[in-house]
Amino acid sequence: MSALSVQDLTVDIETPNGPLRAVNGVGFEAEQGETLALLGESGCGKSMTAQAIVGLLEPIASVTQGSVTLNGTDLVKASRRKRRQMAGPELAIVFQDALTALNPVYTVGTQLAEPFRIHRRMSAKEARGEAIELMRRVGIPHPDKRVDAFPHQFSGGMRQRLLIAMAVALNPTVLLADEPTTALDVTVQAQIMALLKDLRAEREMAVVLITHDLALVAEEADKVAVMYAGHVVETGPVSEVFGDPGHPYTKGLLDSVPVHVARGEELASIGGTPPDLASIPSGCVYQARCPLARQKCRDERPQLKATQGQRKAACHFTEEV
C-alpha cells in the first residue's frame, strides 16, 4: 500500500463570478522511502494540491471531490481534530519562504519544541533537548547556543534547515516539500536537497517534492507527476518519463531546457500561455499550445490512462509524441 494516495482530488476557488476549478481530478501515489515530484509551472495547481493535502487551503478554496488517503485515513473526510492529531506525526510540510514561515517573535528553540509539546506533551525542558538534537541533526552549528536565537539571526539556508527540522521532528509518514529551495542560491540548494534525501532514507518517509525545476526532479525524484492547468497530464518513473515523454507538454518542457545550444541560437520554448482557469477549453487542456492537436482533442478531454509499465499519460496521441 502506498504511504499517500491521492485520488480524483478537486479544489474549487470561490469567486464573485462563480467557482474556479484550480485542481481538477488530480491523482498520484507516493511510496515510503521514495520521492515523488509534482512538476508544473506557476499557477498549474501544484501548490494548491499540496495545501489541500495538508488541509491548509485559504478559506475561499475548498476540496469538492476526491480523497487523500494516509495510513488508512481519508484526510478529506477526517474531522478537524483528527487532522490536527495527524499534523506532525503523520503528515508534515516544508514551506517555501523560510523567513516568513518562522514566527519572528519566538526563539527557534521554542518553535522546534512545539511539535513535541503539542503531540507528546513533553515538558519544556525535555522538548528543548529534542529541539537541540534536531538542530544538530540538520547541521546547524553550535545548536546548544543557537537554540535561543531568533529566526532573523539565521541565514536563508539555515532557516530552511530549521523548517525541515520542524517538519521531520515527529518522523512523519509523508513529508511535503513545497518549493523548498526556490528562495536559496544554488550551492545551498544542493545542501538542502542532500539533507532531505538523507532524512528520507533515515526516517523512511515518502517525500512529495513540489517544484517547477526540471533539473531538481531529474536529480532527486523517483517518480514524477506533471501538472498542467489543474490536471495531471503525465506520470511515471522520472527516468522513463524524462527519457521518452508520453505527453506533448512534458516533451515541450524538456525541449526547452538549453542543453546543446550554441551562442546566438534561438532557445526552444512552448508557444502561447497556459489557459485562464476561468476559460479552460472543453477538450484537452493543452490543445491551444499542442503541436499534435487535432479535432479529437477539441471534442474530447483525454483521460490519464496507462501506457506502459507504471506510466500514464493523458493524451489521445501519446504514441506520436
* 145 interacts with another protein by CB under 8 A: no
68 binds another protein (CB under 8 A): no
Binders of another protein among residues 19 to 48 (CB under 8 A) are none
Nearest to 289 by CA among 241, 251, 249, 232: 249
Q: Are 66 and 9 in contact (CB under 8 A)?
A: yes
Q: Give, as one character, the DSSP assignment of residue 87.
A: B
In angstroms, what is the minimal distance from the CB of 227 to another protein?
Answer: 21
Regarding 82 and contact with another protein (CB under 8 A), the answer is no
Which of 11, 22, 93, 290 lies at the binding interface for another protein (CB under 8 A)? 93
**Is the separation of the CB atoms in 116 and 130 below 8 Å?**
yes
Place of cell 509518514: 173
The position carrying cell 505527453 is: 247
Which H/E stretch holds residue 273? none
Residue number with CB closer to another protein (100 or 273): 100
Angle at 50 between CA 47 and CA 51, to 5 degrees: 90
85 forms part of the interface with another protein (CB under 8 A)? yes
164 touches another protein (CB under 8 A): no
Closest approach, Cβ 260 to another protein, in A, equals 41
Q: Which of residues 280-299 bind another protein (CB under 8 A)?
A: none
CB of 302 to another protein, least distance (A): 35
Q: Are strands 206-211 and 174-178 parallel, antiparallel or unpaired?
A: parallel
Q: Residue 275 carries which DSSP code?
A: P
Task: Give all strands (DSSP E) within 181-297, no chain letters.
Answer: 206-211, 223-228, 231-237
Residue count, binding to another protein (CB under 8 A): 30
| Residue 213 touching another protein (CB under 8 A) | no
Regarding 126 and contact with another protein (CB under 8 A), the answer is no
User: Which positions lie near another protein, rule CB under 8 A?
Assistant: 54-56, 84-89, 92-93, 95, 97, 100-107, 114-115, 118-119, 150, 152, 163, 166-167
